[in-house]
Structure 1
Amino acid sequence: MLSSNRLRVLLEVFRAGSIAAAARELKLSPSAVSHQLARLEDEAGVGLVERNAQSLRLTDAGRRLAHRAQEVVDILEAAEKDLRAQARVDAGALRIGFFASAGYRLVPLALSRFADRYPAVTLDLVEGQPFELLPDLERGALDILVVFEHALDPWDRPEGIEVVPLLDEPQLLVVPNGHPAARRPRIRLADLADEPWITTFGADHPVSILERAGALEGFTPQIRCRSDHYEVTIGLVRAGLGVALVPSLGLHGVTGVQIRRLQTPQLHRRIGVARRATNPNPAAKSFTAYLRTAAAQLRNSLPA
């Protein structure tokens, strides 16, 4: 393997026309330049320089290698430029994964402010369930992943992944307008045991949070429909086809239904930012701060 540093020396000798001139440009002694050339010849296995008492010139092989050295130096300088750009928050790229209801307000609010501050950062956005996108975060295809975990279904974070908490978000009861449950001052999940339910498919297993909570209160919910799209869930509830549990982030601006908090303390999920502890991308740390600010703003405006 040829040394890139010695290739730089050869290139400078080619440009300057002499060892002395190259030494001045490289801020080395002439003997050091000669030594580097000799080492490069050993690595190449071919003579690169013709020397005599009065002058020095490159052999055909030396000139050909000098041209190649220019290509190598150009590539290295481009790589260094890219690295310097990545070391700054105001350049480079940021790859963000997030789940659907975080994409309603939380992520857009943070992104709009981040993009205004750092318009040169290239953003790559991927929507999906946390358990689907976590492998991408682990292998480096994502820098940031907005995640959630339910109090009734905690997950073990993989080694090397840290999670910065953003907010705790309640699971709220959604019923059609005029439903008797909306008039009760206190509602337990078991009070709705005979209702048809609209629920989710669950995360990486088929049992939803509703079914886990129902089991704790001694009943099995009657599932009429499963959907991971809260617009669908709310539309079915609005049409009187069932009741549902929906997290607060999925209820912004919803009309035509009644929203109530249940007397079940475990019915909440924790929203956070997952990232690799070793990720050197400075934009990841900066965007996390913007997410925390957005979460603090949303915390006071979520339906309660």
Structure 2
Amino acid sequence: MFDLRRSDVVLLQAVADHGSLHAVERDGRMTQSSASRRLVKLERRLRTLLVTRGATGTEPTEAGHAVLHVGRRLLAAIDFAIATTHHGSDAASRLPVVEFAVGTEWAYGLDRHLAGRFPDVVFDIVPDDCHRVWQRFERYAADAALGWETARRPMARRGGVLVRTVAEEPQQIALPLGHPLAAQEILDLRDLARTEWVAVVGGDSGDDQGWALSRLTPVPPVSFTVRSQGAALDLVRRGYGIALVSPSTLGGGAGPGVVLRPLRQKFVRRLRLAVDPLAIPEPLAEDLCAWLRRLYALRTAAPGAVPAGTHRERTPHSGDHCAPATGQTAPPPVLLSELRWSAADRSGGFEPEHLHLLRVIGRTGSLNQAASALLVTQPALTRRIHRLEASCGLSLVHSTARGTSLSATARRLLACTGPAEHRLDALVNHLREGDSAPVPAAGPPPARAGAGPVRSPVSARTASR
């Protein structure tokens, strides 16, 4: 696992919150020069830029935001596991929590419907503009994303994710009932060059319309500018112009006084679902996509429609551990993301690198063999374990007849943090493959992507502290 420390996350959080490193110095954690040197070292190890430095301040790059979000999730999982160490539940009784970024038009009531359809998963709905939905997913701030992809606004591209098309929706032209072109079955965009338009600004609909108008010469006149397709249809109904509309916003029809006609030039927007397979397994993702397709079909058929039996259906991939027995009430499960890490928390003696140390001890079953694998001496590793147990107040290892074994607390800690660890490793591999901007040439050049094995997070220097 990549050696990402709490101080690294604190630095990136300070840059994101304040646009400078002064906040770290004011907080008394380290000087500004030390913070700058630590950021440079982190950038060299990742072989990518994490912040941009300029005269107006410092701000995280896309890679910096991604490292920040993944680091926060990992620290939250560690703190949660330590804070709930005396909870009696095992891994099978915990519900996975999925941060689901969705377009604003889909957000209302979606969490309630998802809870009924997928009772074994907690969906934390994050509504936002379609562009920011994909931006959140690209930055690893969301485990899944649902939004429109248009010709001028493609969805974010990220390796190793599952992407499915929920629906493809050709845009149509809305005309007043008495318009001369209303008699035609199919319209050509060039025939609409001299017709007044009602423009919709903002969102994916505005992108499609802007793309359509940019292809007309001369640019057609715009009589009104509104922010919703409902307002645009009302103006079209009153004869103030024509508009480009989306069928899913019409609820099965445009209403009286308005005629819908398709365009010969296809303007298609796609409702896309992107899923991080480390958060949602592929069978569950396919079931989620199928349910969203059904929900889309019902929304386009009638406004406000929801799937029948939404609150009673269960997914075929759901386990039975959440189902209450007859006449009994099931105990509330432990939520993996109940606690969120805060940069102001100073009780973090447990670093992400210690997870690797525990995993090596559990795999070898011996402090002697673990010390050899970690390239440290056995006394140094033993002292490190004792200091770690004292700092977090937990028993992590115990001696057995066959050697050294992890305690139940340590095994639960590894189970809680496993998905967040995998996400961090996936991000580090993604950055080191050269998908982001390279580190500037100042100082020693970064190592090549294939320049040898990644060093163990627990080195001889850190193990002997």
Shorter-chain TM-score tier: 0.5 to 0.7
Q: Distance in 1 between matches of 2:139 and 2:155?
A: 19
AA of the residue aligned to 1:232: A
Q: 1:211 & 1:263 partners in 2: Cα distance?
A: 17
Counterpart pick for 1:97 among 101, 106, 130: 101
Distance 1:283 1:95 in 2: 18
Tell me the residue number matched to 2:229. 230
Q: Distance in 2 between matches of 1:261 and 1:143?
A: 36
Give how far 1:271 is off.
1.4
The 8 Å contact of residues 85 and 92 in structure 1, kept in 2 or not, is answered as no
- Tell me, yes or no, if the aligned pair for 2:166 and 2:289 is still in contact at 8 Å: no
TM (normalized to structure 2)?
0.40
Q: Using the alignment, how far apart are the partners of 2:191 and 2:98 within structure 1?
A: 46
Once the 2 structures are TM-superposed, how far is the Cα of residue 259 of structure 1 from its aligned partner? 0.9
Q: CA deviation at 1:199?
A: 2.6
Amino acid in structure 1 at the alignment position of 2:84? I
Structure 1, residues 82-112: CA drift from partner, whole Å, max 9, x if none? x5344xxxx44443332244469xx85x973
Amino acid aligned to 2:178: G
Contact 2:151 2:208 in 1 (8 A): no
Distance 1:76 1:147, change over 3 A: same
- Deviations for 1:121-146, whole angstroms, at most 9, x for unmatched residues? 44433332221122333445433211
Please, which moves more after superposition, 247-256 or 274-283?
274-283
Report the 3-state secondary structure (helix = DSSP H, G, I; strand = E; otherwise coil) of the residue aligned with 1:220.
coil
The answer to which of 135-144 and 247-256 deviates more is 135-144
SS of residue matched to 2:201: coil
- C-alpha displacement at 1:172, in angstroms? 0.6
Distance in 1, Cα, partners of 2:234 & 2:148 = 24
Partner of 1:50 in structure 2?
A: none
CA distance in 2, matches of 1:213, 1:143: 33
State the shift of 1:160 in Å: 4.7
Equivalent residue, structure 2, for 1:45: none
| Equivalent residue number for residue 269 of structure 1 | 269
Which residue is 1:180 aligned to?
180
Q: Give 2:213's aligned amino acid.
A: G
Give the aligned partner of residue 65 of structure 1: none
Q: 1-side partners of 2:225 and 2:300: how far apart?
A: 30
2-structure distance, mates of 1:148, 1:292: 13
Q: Which is higher, the Rg of structure 1 or of structure 2?
A: 1
When the two structures are superposed, what TM-score results if normalisation uses the length of structure 1? 0.58
Residue 125 of structure 1 aligns to a residue whose secondary structure is strand
Residue 201 (structure 1) aligns with: 201
Name the residue aligned to 1:149.
149
The 8 Å contact of residues 200 and 228 in structure 1, kept in 2 or not, is answered as yes
| Distance in 1 of aligned mates of 2:262 and 2:248 | 14
CA 1:79–1:213 in 2, change beyond 3 Å: closer, same or farther? farther
Match runs of 1:64-103 below 5 Å: 75-78=84-87, 81=90, 83-86=91-94, 91-102=95-106
Contact 1:174 1:244 in 2 (8 A): yes
Unpaired runs of 5+ residues, structure 1, are: 1-71
Q: Do the aligned partners of residues 171 and 150 (structure 1) sit closer, same or farther apart at CA in structure 2, a change above 3 Å counting? A: same
Report the aligned-residue RMSD.
Answer: 3.7
Q: 1:188 to 1:79 in 2, by over 3 A?
A: farther
CA apart distance, 1:298 = 5.3
Q: Which amino acid in structure 1 is aligned with residue 102 of structure 2? A: F
Mapped contact 1:143–1:281 kept (Cα < 8 A): no
Alignment map for 1:215-226 (pairs within 5 Å): 215-226=214-225
Native 8 Å contact 1:182 1:258 kept in 2: yes
Distance 1:156 1:133 in 2: 9
Mapped to 1, the partners of 2:84 and 2:156 lie a distance apart of 42
Which residue matches 2:453? none
2: CA distance, partners of 1:167 / 1:73? 43
8 Å contact kept, 1:138–1:161: no
Sequence identity of aligned pairs in percent? Answer: 25
**3-state SS of the aligned residue for 1:76?**
coil
1:190 corresponds in structure 2 to 190
Deviations 1:127-178 (CA, angstroms, capped at 9, x unpaired): 3222112233344543321122224554552345442111210101011222
Q: Which residue in 2 is equivalent to 1:18?
A: none
Mapping 1:1-304, distance limit 5 Å: 75-78=84-87, 81=90, 83-86=91-94, 91-102=95-106, 112=113, 114-119=114-119, 121-151=121-151, 153-155=153-155, 157-201=157-201, 208-253=207-252, 254-256=254-256, 257-265=258-266, 267-280=267-280, 285=285, 286-295=287-296, 297=297
- The one-letter amino acid of 1:200's match is V
